[in-house]
Structure 1
């Protein structure tokens, strides 16, 4: 894993963001090792291998659609026009 980190992060190797990344990666590795040691795995805890991910066309076109959003002068409600 350390070799992968060195290869992928060579451009920030000696920078504060690189050091921060290595610290976070080490903490995640420690946490995963601890979870494995106490018997928590993705095989017995489905939440470790699953997640919900939602998207919509509004999110993909947010800048465009935001420009078309207006407040109705009579009701004060927001509308995409």
Structure 2
């Protein structure tokens, strides 16, 4: 394993610092957190990603990632 393979970067995930592998894709981040892509929208540095971009969007030092979840609910009273 090369040093590049084990390099980590710091990101903000939903406002909390996290260390992740450099170059980790958004799809892999979702997998790591056991989040189904169809249940979340991902915002990367203020830009909403299309689901088809999750595989190619790689995380870099200082990135800000937000997971926005869809929730079902009852009727308003």
Please classify the TM superposition score into its range, dividing by the shorter chain length: under 0.3
The normalised TM-score by structure 2 is 0.19
Tell which structure's C-alpha radius of gyration is larger: 1
The structure richer in helix per residue is 1
Say which structure is richer in strand.
2
Which of 1 and 2 has higher RCO (CA within 8 Å, sep 6+)?
A: 2
TM-score by length of 1: 0.19
